[in-house]
Chains A and B, each alone.
Chain A
Amino acid sequence: MILLIPLGVVLAALLAIIGLAIGYGGEDVVYILIKSLSLLTILSVVVLSLTWVERKALARIQQRMGPMRVGPYGLLQPIADGLKLLIKEDIMPAWVDRPVYWLAPLAVFIPSFAVWIAVPFTSSLVLTDMDLGLLYILAMSVLSIIGLIMAGWGSANKYGIIGGLRSAAQLISYEIPLLVIAITIAMLAGTLNLTEIAVGQGNTWYILLQPLALVIFLLAGLAEVGRSPFDIFQAESELVGGPFIEYSGAHWSIFFLAEYINTFLVAALVTIFFLGGWSGPLLPELAWFLIKCYSVILVIFWLRGTLPRLRIDQLMAFGWQGLVPLSFLNFLMVAFALFYGWPNWVQTVLSLTMLVAASTFIYMKTASKKVRPTVRLIPAREVRRA
């Protein structure tokens, strides 16, 4: 019975994908079905590999071996974990708000899955090549906030509620810089079609034109998916998992799946927007796309391995006082550059200058408030004499 729930979720997501695809493209149903299934497979393999990569990467940072027992180099560990999660007892507390509690995983999972309809892996491997792809992705990815609030509320747990409210505040705040940067990219590319954005970059990847935008987008994206150092709504050390606190087994694994798919989405978007998508010499397009995605993901894991978590007020201040104005400034700069037809190198120089100025400002602002703290040393001799 319990095993049917994840199956149902996957099927529902599949149906949503198919429905949307048919509604949009009007292509052959069988063809779309095959495409959706291959997308599902790719995403599942990606999530499995991500858990392994994350554990190995963190282990390297922490001077450990990571998973070693299941399969060579622990490669089968993700499968063992997945199996364990599925056959685990699914505990539901007696006092939960049942409909909300059951629907929350779906409300998180379906949007995060449906987003991928419009994300191109290569110039040809895309389920639906939407002209409004960018708009669709941003609209869909916001929806998962509702699922998090539902999870927090439906669990009828105080930690869950605090976590749900935190996630609402955090995700809505960081949606703004994310959107503004996306608009900037759309202006540069002159299209909302993701394939065209990636192809249109040619050899001048937008990372060269807009390093500032990349930094803002990556940081806001990290906050969007709730990864360290912005994982305050899960906050293991205080909220013990936040909205997910009362979920176990298959239900929890659905949240887990959604989180990793979202992480991969951020990496994929960074790749498409800033790293020229799948362009690269020699290797096939899909290989280049995956290489770039995994490099971005390794940066995300690296941050997780080294940084403590921010506090909620610091997180909000960083979003509203740091990223939001910066993203608007960046937006203005691109608008001017495009309107007056400034050459590319001017954009690069301006963007870099702003990046340096902003980081210096943020650093000085924090550093001037608190001079590097010190410890006074009183020799024991002096205390003994006194």
Chain B
Amino acid sequence: MTEAQRLESVDIMVNMGPQHPSTHGVFRMVLWVDGERIVDAEPHIGYLHRGSEKLCEGELYPQIITLFDRMDYIGNYNMELAICSAVEKIMGITVPERAEYIRVILCELNRISSHMLFYGTMGLDAGAMTPIMYGFRERERIQNLFEATSGARMMHNYFRIGGLREDPPDDFAERVAGILPALEKGIEEGDKLLTYNEVFLARARNVGIINGQDALDYGLTGPSLRASGIPDDIRVIEPYSVYDRFDFDIPVGNTGDTWDRYAMRVEEMRQSIRIIKQALEQMPDDGPTKATGVRGIPRPPAGEVYFRSETPRGEMGVYIVTDGGDKPYRLKVRAPSFANLQALRTMLRGVYVADAVMILGSLDIVLGEVDR
């Protein structure tokens, strides 16, 4: 046997993360690569595990809201809405109309700011360094508004069981209406810079494809599922708050590739602006923002409740078992990013190393919510 015949090649194992600029937090992927091709990939999670669900069992219901803020730290308002609505559902509280509309407006603005961050990081993953600056410029407009409303740019702790912590500023509606044209323009610019960029299309099209059935089987939700052609949106199929009063479109992808998952979010930003405009029109000018009859520490009746809502990342479910006390007996969170990550391994097999980063980025995970 000659020397040449004895040479054999083996797949090398490349460890990506938990400290890697493109794993969007402390996420770890172990890749087995054959040259530039990925043979297999193994995701590892848990580096940001804080035991949030267990912590919730030791906190009073109003205190849990702050813990939810810290799960999906990009979509805070949406998380607050989930826990507040779940408790309201089991207690049978009706939230005043004005509070509902303000909640919807803030949640949709939050969706836009979250997707703007996604837009920027997607550009970074693809190797373009400019989009993130433009994404952050738009995000900043929204963050300023959030700061004026709740006093905090993130971790707002603004929603309360039965309404809001306090009234938003008097000029809230005008300020929201004021930033919408700028946001629309920003989305247009984003399209020009990245969405239809020939290099970006070459990188993102037909990469990391997952078909509709697989996506459902893996439990994908939100934009990642809709990219595979399934019009599934909790705001529509099981409306909560006042979402049944708005007229908007559900963007749906054709192939379920990386570009589709990216484009879903860009289009969702436009739809969110549509929702906000309608909400501004329908919103009562004044009225209470707190439900009457919710005083002191809420003590939901013994029982259980499951509430699901659509966060920027997908279906967020909150399951609470109560024993009639002021703290939940058990609280379970169905986190969208966690479920979305399950499909990663299938999507990564056979793609190039450079694609792995983009596919992971296109799932738009937030590790705080994956690991909880």
Distance A236 CA – B132 CA, assembled complex (angstroms): 15
Q: Is B272 an interface residue (CB 8 A)?
A: no
What's the minimum C-beta distance from B266 to chain A, rounded to whole angstroms? 8
Residues in B with CB closer than 8 Å to A8 are none
In the complex, chain A residues 251-274 whose Cβ is within 8 Å of any chain B Cβ: none
Q: Is B46 an interface residue (CB 8 A)?
A: no
Partner of A380, one of B130, B203, B250: B250
Are A237 and B264 in contact, CB atoms less than 8 angstroms apart? no
Distance A162 CA – B13 CA, assembled complex (angstroms): 12
Chain A residue nearest in CB terms to B200: A308
Are A240 and B20 in contact, CB atoms less than 8 angstroms apart? yes
Interface size class for chain B? 35 or more
In the complex, chain A residues 282-314 whose Cβ is within 8 Å of any chain B Cβ: 304-314
Interface size class for chain A? 35 or more
Q: Is A94 an interface residue (CB 8 A)?
A: no
Chain A residue nearest in CB terms to B33: A162
Are B267 and A306 in contact, CB atoms less than 8 angstroms apart? no
Query: Given A377-B267, A380-B236, is A235 in contact with B250 using a C-beta cutoff of 8 Å?
Result: no
Are B21 and A311 in contact, CB atoms less than 8 angstroms apart? no
Partner of B355, one of A311, A375, A377, A378: A311
Are A377 and B22 in contact, CB atoms less than 8 angstroms apart? no
Residues in B with CB closer than 8 Å to A61 are 130
Q: Is A84 an interface residue (CB 8 A)?
A: no
Q: Interface-forming stretch among B171-179, B241-249, B313-321, B324-332?
A: B241-249
Distance A310 CA – B20 CA, assembled complex (angstroms): 20
Residues in A with CB closer than 8 Å to B14 are 158-159, 162
Chain B residue nearest in CB terms to A239: B353
Are A308 and B354 in contact, CB atoms less than 8 angstroms apart? no
Chain A residue nearest in CB terms to B275: A380
Are A366 and B254 in contact, CB atoms less than 8 angstroms apart? no
What's the minimum C-beta distance from A156 to chain B, rounded to whole angstroms? 13
In the complex, chain B residues 249-306 whose Cβ is within 8 Å of any chain A Cβ: 249-254, 259-260, 263-264, 267
Distance A313 CA – B355 CA, assembled complex (angstroms): 11
Distance A373 CA – B356 CA, assembled complex (angstroms): 21
Are A380 and B248 in contact, CB atoms less than 8 angstroms apart? yes
Are B202 and A384 in contact, CB atoms less than 8 angstroms apart? no
In the complex, chain A residues 171-185 whose Cβ is within 8 Å of any chain B Cβ: none
Query: Given A158-B14, A307-B128, A307-B197, is A377 in contact with B202 using a C-beta cutoff of 8 Å?
Result: no
Are B21 and A384 in contact, CB atoms less than 8 angstroms apart? no
Are B199 and A379 in contact, CB atoms less than 8 angstroms apart? no
Q: Is B217 an interface residue (CB 8 A)?
A: no
Are A308 and B203 in contact, CB atoms less than 8 angstroms apart? yes
Residues in A with CB closer than 8 Å to B22 are 237-238
In the complex, chain B residues 123-154 whose Cβ is within 8 Å of any chain A Cβ: 123-130, 133-134, 137
Residues in A with CB closer than 8 Å to B12 are 158
Distance A28 CA – B268 CA, assembled complex (angstroms): 72
Q: Is B205 an interface residue (CB 8 A)?
A: yes
What's the minimum C-beta distance from B130 to chain A, rounded to whole angstroms? 5
Chain A residue nearest in CB terms to B121: A237
Are A229 and B199 in contact, CB atoms less than 8 angstroms apart? yes
Residues in A with CB closer than 8 Å to B356 are 238
Are A376 and B203 in contact, CB atoms less than 8 angstroms apart? no
Most chain B CB within 10 A, of A231, A305, A312, A383, is at: A383
Partner of A308, one of B123, B250, B254: B123
Distance A158 CA – B15 CA, assembled complex (angstroms): 9
Distance A380 CA – B249 CA, assembled complex (angstroms): 5
Q: Is B47 an interface residue (CB 8 A)?
A: no
Query: Given A62-B130, A308-B203, is A376 in contact with B252 using a C-beta cutoff of 8 Å?
Result: yes
Distance A281 CA – B268 CA, assembled complex (angstroms): 56
Are B198 and A380 in contact, CB atoms less than 8 angstroms apart? no
Distance A314 CA – B236 CA, assembled complex (angstroms): 41
Chain A residue nearest in CB terms to B124: A237
In the complex, chain A residues 58-95 whose Cβ is within 8 Å of any chain B Cβ: 58, 61-64
Q: Is B231 an interface residue (CB 8 A)?
A: yes
In the complex, chain A residues 85-112 whose Cβ is within 8 Å of any chain B Cβ: none
Are A378 and B250 in contact, CB atoms less than 8 angstroms apart? yes
Distance A116 CA – B144 CA, assembled complex (angstroms): 52
Are B203 and A310 in contact, CB atoms less than 8 angstroms apart? yes
Residues in B with CB closer than 8 Å to A376 are 229, 251-254
What's the minimum C-beta distance from B205 to chain A, rounded to whole angstroms? 5
Chain B residue nearest in CB terms to A234: B127
User: Contact flags (1/0) for B220-233 with A, using CB distance below 8 Å?
Assistant: 00000000010101
Residues in B with CB closer than 8 Å to A236 are 21, 127
Are A310 and B353 in contact, CB atoms less than 8 angstroms apart? no
Residues in A with CB closer than 8 Å to B239 are 384
Q: Is B184 an interface residue (CB 8 A)?
A: no
What's the minimum C-beta distance from B111 to chain A, rounded to whole angstroms? 15
Residues in A with CB closer than 8 Å to B128 are 306-309
Q: Is A225 an interface residue (CB 8 A)?
A: no
Distance A313 CA – B352 CA, assembled complex (angstroms): 9
Query: Given A237-B125, A237-B357, A308-B200, is A373 in contact with B231 using a C-beta cutoff of 8 Å?
Result: no
Residues in A with CB closer than 8 Å to B36 are 162, 166, 312-313
Distance A127 CA – B212 CA, assembled complex (angstroms): 66
Chain B residue nearest in CB terms to A161: B12
Chain B residue nearest in CB terms to A236: B21
Partner of A312, one of B129, B137, B352: B352
Q: Is B63 an interface residue (CB 8 A)?
A: no
The residues of A with any CB-CB pair to B shorter than 8 Å are: 58, 61-64, 158-159, 162, 166, 228-229, 231-232, 235-240, 304-314, 363, 366, 370, 372-381, 383-384
Q: Can you report 13 residue pairs joining A to B where beta carbons are below 8 Å apart? A: A62-B133, A158-B15, A162-B33, A229-B199, A237-B125, A238-B22, A305-B129, A306-B130, A308-B126, A373-B254, A375-B253, A376-B251, A380-B233
